[in-house]
């Protein structure tokens, strides 16, 4: 039997898909490190793409309003913000969480976060800045490894598939306090399932501690909320309030169903710590 020929247009579509993938990688490069305005050289370093290719992609994205050119480089365009405002998961979870996040802020005057799981990372959906001047690595839309953050461990405890993926990977240290043992992390996740509370004790950033709780719907964590402060500030005293906030958000979501925050595709990406 003669080998089956590709359908008309199938082969021609592959270059187009590759262009889309490169454009997505280019946009994602803006989230992979500090700075909102990036030079062409920095974009080339983060994406690994040749500068002529980047020029062509940036020109096309600029026409569509997805990227803006400035005097010092490139930044994400306002159209991405407009598109992001139509993401159902972000709207419903964020809207349900904000009143409870505000309550946590009023009680603690510290930084309050809302995050979801994306692969083996956490992505921050909302942040209320505290009164303390803390060098917190998180930012809205930014991502961090799940294994070394309070919200991340809370999410992994109730997302077994993601936890298995994390357990199959090395656990790179971010500080001297980062959990790098799979056995220790497994025990930590078990404790979180027992108590409903997760802690980050300078595991992601020195000088930063956090208490977090998962927002569990039908046995699956769709998000996590946390209070972040400085060491010695006794964040443990907010554990009950954080857990109560997570329960309140869950009840609100019962009236406003949301999609589970499962990433649409598992695709390796080149990223740096945010």
Q: What is the CATH number of domain 88-255?
A: 3.30.450.40
Rounded to whole angstroms, the Cα distance separating 156 from 153 reads 5
Residue 15 confidence (pLDDT): 66
Q: Residue 84 in contact with residue 91, Cβ under 8 Å?
A: no
Closest CA to 213 of 69, 94, 112, 85: 112
Rounded to whole angstroms, the Cα distance separating 210 from 198 reads 8
Q: Cβ–Cβ contacts within 10 Å for residue 13, how many?
A: 11
- Going by the DSSP 8-state scheme, the letter that residue 237 receives in this structure is G
Q: Residue 76 in contact with residue 43, Cβ under 8 Å?
A: no
Rounded to whole angstroms, the Cα distance separating 131 from 111 reads 8
Burial class (CB in 10 A: 0-12, 13-18, 19+), 135: exposed
Domain boundaries, the chain: 11-82, 88-255
Residue 259 confidence (pLDDT): 42
CA dihedral 150→249→117→225, nearest 10 degrees, is -20
Residue 152, classed as helix, strand or coil, is helix
Rounded to whole angstroms, the Cα distance separating 175 from 173 reads 5
Residue 270 confidence (pLDDT): 38
Residue 223 confidence (pLDDT): 95
Instruction: Give me the average pLDDT of each 10-residue run along the chain (274 residues).
Output: 42 69 87 76 91 92 90 87 66 89 91 92 88 68 90 96 95 94 97 95 90 93 92 82 95 61 38 38
Conformational region of residue 9, where left means phi above 0, alpha means psi within -120 to 50, and beta covers everything else: left
Rounded to whole angstroms, the Cα distance separating 132 from 110 reads 7
Q: Cβ–Cβ contacts within 10 Å for residue 214, how many?
A: 28
Q: What angle do CA 214, 216, 221 make, to 5 degrees?
A: 70
pLDDT tens profile 125-178: 999 887 665 666 667 878 899 999 999 999 999 999 999 999 999 999 999 999
Residue 173 confidence (pLDDT): 93
Conformational region of residue 218, where left means phi above 0, alpha means psi within -120 to 50, and beta covers everything else: left
pLDDT tens profile 76-98: 888 887 777 666 655 688 889 99
Structure token digits, residue 16: 């187009």
Residue 142 confidence (pLDDT): 82
Q: What is the CATH number of domain 11-82?
A: 1.10.10.10
């Amino acid at each position: 039997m003669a080998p089956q020929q590709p359908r008309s247009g199938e082969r021609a579509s592959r270059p187009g898909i590759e262009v889309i993938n490169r454009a997505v990688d280019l946009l994602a490069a803006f989230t992979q490190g500090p700075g909102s305005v990036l030079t062409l050289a920095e974009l080339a370093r983060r994406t690994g793409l040749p500068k002529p290719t980047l020029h062509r992609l940036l020109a096309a994205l600029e026409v569509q309003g997805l990227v803006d050119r400035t005097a010092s480089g490139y930044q994400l365009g306002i159209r991405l913000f407009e598109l992001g405002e139509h993401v159902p998961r972000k709207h419903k979870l964020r809207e349900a969480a904000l009143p409870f996040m505000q309550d946590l802020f009023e009680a603690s005057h510290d930084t309050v976060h809302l995050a979801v799981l994306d692969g083996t990372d956490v992505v921050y959906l909302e942040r209320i800045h505290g009164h303390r001047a803390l060098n917190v690595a998180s930012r809205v839309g930014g991502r961090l490894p799940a294994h070394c953050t309070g919200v991340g461990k809370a999410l992994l405890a109730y997302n077994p598939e993601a936890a298995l993926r994390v357990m199959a990977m090395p656990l790179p240290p971010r500080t001297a306090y980062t959990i790098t043992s799979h056995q220790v992390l497994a025990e930590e996740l078990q404790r979180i399932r027992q108590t409903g509370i997760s802690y980050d004790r300078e595991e992601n950033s020195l000088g930063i501690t956090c208490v977090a709780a998962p927002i569990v719907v039908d046995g699956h964590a769709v998000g996590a909320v946390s209070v972040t402060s400085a060491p010695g500030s006794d964040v443990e005293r907010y554990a009950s309030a954080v857990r109560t906030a997570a329960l309140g958000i869950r009840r609100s979501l019962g009236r406003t169903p949301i999609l589970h925050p499962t990433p649409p595709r598992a695709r390796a990406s080149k990223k740096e710590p945010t």
